[in-house]
Every structure is written in C-alpha cells, then in structure tokens.
Chain A
C-alpha cells in the first residue's frame, strides 16, 4: 500500500490548533469568573458583620465613666457613623490601594495587612507541610492497597484509615501533646517559636521552627492522610476495573506504565476534587488545630477578632481567605483540565 504521510504537517497541526485553543482560554475564562464572585462574597460578609453588633459599645461597656459624647467620637473616629454603602465603597477603595485598615483591638491599631501577613505565613507553613506529606504518603499506600485488594496489607490499611478518619483532630492533638510533650518532653507544648532565643536548639532559629512544627504537622498529616488513602484506594479500584486498563495490559505495557500512567491519571480526578475543596478550607486556618497547639495562625486570629467585633480584622481576613479559596479553586480547575481533556476541550 503506497502511503504518503506527512508527520511534520501533523505535528504542526497539533501545535497550531490543539494546544493553543484549549488551556489558555480555559484559564482566562475561569479568572474572569473570579471577579464577581470575590465582590459578591465581600458584600455579604461586610454587611453581615456590621449587623452583628456595635464594637464601640463592646469596647466601652465595662467603663462606667464613659460619656455619650466620647462614644460618639469613637464611632466617628472609626467611621461607623457613615451610611453602610459609603463604608463599603471606602473599604473597597482603600483595599485597592493595599490598605485593609487598622485593628480596633490588637496592639493599639496594628495594620490588618501586617497581621494577616504574619498569621497567614504560620498557617501556610503548618497546613502545606501536612498536606504535602499526607499526599506523599497517602497516594502510594492507596494504590498499593487497591492493587492488593483484600490482602492482609489492604485490610490493615483500610481499618487503620477508618479509625484515623473517626478520631477528631483535637483529641489526637491533645493525646500527642500529652505523650510527646508532657510525658516524654521531646517537643514544645505549642506555639510556633521559642520566645527566648537562648532556648533555640543549637542556637538555630530554623531548627527551633522545625522543632515547633513537628508535632502539629505530624498530627495534621495523620488526620488528613486517612481520608485520602481511602479515596485513592476506592478510586483506584474503580479505575482498575475499566476496560482500558485491560486493553493497556493486553498491549503488553509494563505493569508500571499501566498503574502509574493509565490508572493513576484517572484515579487522581476525584482526589484532585477532594484536595481542592480541602485546600480552600485549610487556608482559612483550622481554628481547632491552631487552638490545641496554640499556633499563631489565621484561624485563631479570626475567632479572636469575631469575639471582639474587630471589624477591620474580620473583613481583612475574609478578603484574604476568599482570595485564597478562589485561588485554590482556580488551581483545582487547572489541575482538572490538565488531567482530564474532557474538561478542557468541549
């Protein structure tokens, strides 16, 4: 059969038509969606916090000698006497200039941007470490467990994961502190740093940081590990039953290619969804974890700000968390489109 094939032409076609059209357009569209969503969330939070109470009353409630006039002046000082739409527009205007206002309650009016910056870093450090290690451990274990379904290893993994999913993090955290900090004295009770530089192990700030990070990160890793293992396992089991896996095996592909290329790529789709959702919530800081380990993170800051009706901090953290969740969703969407061509090409 005489065949005239122009491979080069074919490759050129691919570069010209397939690659360009799909991914960039997809990302751009997703980005544009983010803007109205961001402002929508902002309006809801802004209005609802301002309906929650009067911070001036809260601040002055325990002071018997406060005059009505002084209260008036405080209200004016914070701009709370203005109509709500004016407050909001002013806030947006300031925000676009990189200013989220000053705290009512913390250290004589610290800038919210500084506060969020400091606390967010600690949250990131803890949560990303835990997420990284939990995925690193969970994915191979889940795959192994699925490949050896009903074996002793699989039963052990499944049972342990189920137990792990059932234990709440505050319990696991307290037990860990009891054993490793209180009884054995290996790790600090909480916080992210030693206050006194003379207590740094070997005088190193970095080692001190890692020393403080170890226990909460380990507990969080285990808490996140269990559901991911179960998810990877069940998703992998589902994929391994598919015809295309049989077809890949029948083509003589190596077991490694079959599992890690053909099966894993498909099995990861639900895992990406889960991690994406989790990631968003996680950046909001896990207030409970942060409370147990006395961790100076965003979650703890948020709870404290709410209890003091510290409007600028509440709105500031909301801006930050909203942005993070939206970015996490965007990353998830991009990861999705990367993994599954059915999403990027209609």
Chain B
C-alpha cells in the first residue's frame, strides 16, 4: 500500500511573461509529497524550485502566471480555490520559509507584531494569547530570553536568529506542509548546522516538508526522498539513499560530483560545463542534452518522460535503461 499523499502536483506549468519573451520557469512538473515526509527539491539556481513553491501557494510574483496543471492538496485542487480560500490555506495549512532571513522580516515592525499578526489571522485568540503563543514558539525554535527578544526589531538580531524567527512564524499555526526555500543558504556554516538540526527536530512534529536547496549536503541530512529538477523539469525522483548511491540521470550524477568533500587529499569538485539554459528558448528534447556527457542524437528530439525504472525510482532520460544496466561502466 502506497503512503498517503498530502500534496500531489500534476503537470504544473508556470511561465513569466517578460518583455524579452516568455520564460518557461516551470514547465510541466509533477511531484508528490507524502504525509510526514520531507521531500528535497534539488537543482541549480534557476531550475524552477522556488517558482514551484510559490506556485503551490499561488503567490508567484508578477509577471509570472500559473498556466496549467493541478496542485492537489488533501484531495482539493488549489488552483480552483478563490483568493480568499487561498489566504486561509497560506500560513495555516501550508507555510513558507523564504531564502533570505535578512529580508524575510519586515524591518519596520517588531517581531512580536509580525508573529502575533499571523497567529491572530488564523486563530481566534486575543492579543495576549497570541503573544503567549509567540513566546512559546520562540522556545520551540530555541531562542533564549524570548520575553525580551520578542520586542526586538529585525535589525537588532543576527541572521541565524532571524531565520529561527522566520521558522517560528511559519510554524505558528501548525501547518501540515512546510515549504522551506533554501532555509540555510544565506547563513554561516555553523549557523547552517544549527538550523538544519532544528529542521530535523521539526520533522518529529509530524509535518510534511518540501526542502528546496541546491546544496546536496543539506538534503542528504534531512530529506527522505529527493526530486532533482533541471530547467523547469523533473529529472529524477527517488529516496535519498538511492539518489546518493545509485543516481541514474546524468544530471543527478553531475550534481553529486560537483559536491566538494572535506578530505585530506585535495580533490577538485567536478564542474558541470556550461550554464543553465535560457528558459525563454530552452533546448529542444531533453533540456540537459547540451551539457550532457552521454547525450545521444535523439536526446535533442525526444522529450523524456518520467519512467519508473525500479520501484520508487523515477528517471526522465531516454538512456536510463542503458545506464541502469551498465551502472559500473558508466560511473565516472
């Protein structure tokens, strides 16, 4: 029996209508998040990870527009909801943590104001009760002296502290699904470790999570399954273990090889040649083929579909079967 899905995205398409042309930021992606699981959404900058998260909440900034697909949350399609219904879902059912803690809190309001505001929006409580809840949340995200710190303004706090507060705000209404958009990217390494530890602890609350990152090290520690994205499409989906031990899609492998390891010997991480394509006129066929070491002639012609090559392991590559069979030989 398959575990229950809390969120299922089918063929989501979000385009940005800019002066230069239509940017196909998310071009028909499908993914699912199961109850209580953490799904890692991995890819280079510009691969459509963040836009996917914003599409789920339907807060894609102008000139972006969701033009197709389905986002099914608890059996209901979010794309068919009204704006008012969406406002009830945002923050309460599905919460969001944005990438930059330095800018995700409004500089002109106190932390207490910004936290109680969200609590009072979704829960029918008085100001004092909301404040009490906010202070409890501060304890949850391990901030010392919450009664005092809560009256601070964002500029009085450090980056790590701000990210803890952003997490506290996201958790304030016990959401069922948390979208964490690169929660550690803009932090110092030591603070990153603390925040990741915190995120791991949060998993124990039974919440599902989509963890968006370009850092393979981050997903390795936290995610249960990984969804590798490239240029607005999904390349490979599998459990974290499978992705790290037995990646099949050439892009997933390239990503793993680009990770630098701390070793005594100096090992230069491999660089993926080229850059992420221009999404106004993306390459035909498989979008990765111009940068792929294993591209065949037909890669430029056929758009590969996600195929289950072994149980719970999906790959969108026409040569996936070959790679599976000769895993040892092709491995670099």
Q: Which A residues are within 8 Å of any B CB, using their own CB?
A: 1, 3, 5-7, 9-11, 13-14, 18, 149, 241-244, 246-255, 257, 262, 265-266, 339-342, 345
Residue of B whose beta carbon sits closest to that of A248: B106
The answer to whether B156 touches A251 (Cβ under 8 A) is: no
Tier of interface size on chain B: 35 or more
- B155 and A342 within 8 A (CB): yes
6 more CB-based (< 8 A) A-B contacts, given A5-B132, A7-B131 = A1-B140, A10-B151, A244-B103, A244-B107, A251-B117, A342-B155
* Assembly CA distance A257 to B108 (angstroms): 14
* A243 CB contact (under 8 Å) in B98, B140, B153: B98
Q: Return 12 A-B CB contacts under 8 Å, by A number.
A: A5-B136, A9-B147, A10-B131, A10-B146, A243-B98, A247-B96, A249-B90, A250-B59, A251-B118, A252-B90, A252-B118, A342-B153
| Residue-wise interface mask of B (131-147) relative to A, using a CB-CB cutoff of 8 A (1 in contact, 0 not) | 11001100110000011
The residue from B86, B150, B166 contacting A247, defined by CB atoms under 8 A apart: B166
Q: Which of B91, B100, B136, B156 has the most CB of A within 10 A?
A: B91
Q: How far is the CA of A9 from the CA of B90 in the complex (A)?
A: 32
Residues of B within 8 A of A242 (CB): 103
B118–A6 contact, CB under 8 A? no
Give chain B interface residues in 5-43, CB to chain A under 8 Å.
Answer: none
Contact A7:B135 (CB < 8 A) given known A249-B59, A254-B87: yes
B88 within 8 A of A: yes
Cβ of B329 within 8 Å of any chain A Cβ, yes or no, is no
Q: Report how far A96 CA is from B92 CA in the complex, Å.
A: 63
Nearest B-chain residue to A3, judged by Cβ: B136
The answer on a CB contact under 8 Å between B100 and A243 is yes
Interface residue from B83, B105, B106, B150 paired with A10 (Cβ < 8 Å): B150
The answer to whether B148 and A10 have CB atoms under 8 Å apart is yes
The 5 lowest CB-CB distance pairs between A and B, nearest first, are A252-B91, A252-B90, A10-B147, A250-B96, A251-B91
Instruction: With CB as the reference atom, state the residue of chain B lying closest to A253.
Output: B121
Say if the beta carbon of B75 comes within 8 Å of chain A: no
Which chain A residue lies CB-closest to B166?
A: A247
Q: Kindly state the separation between the CA atoms of A342 and B170 in the bound complex, as whole angstroms.
A: 24
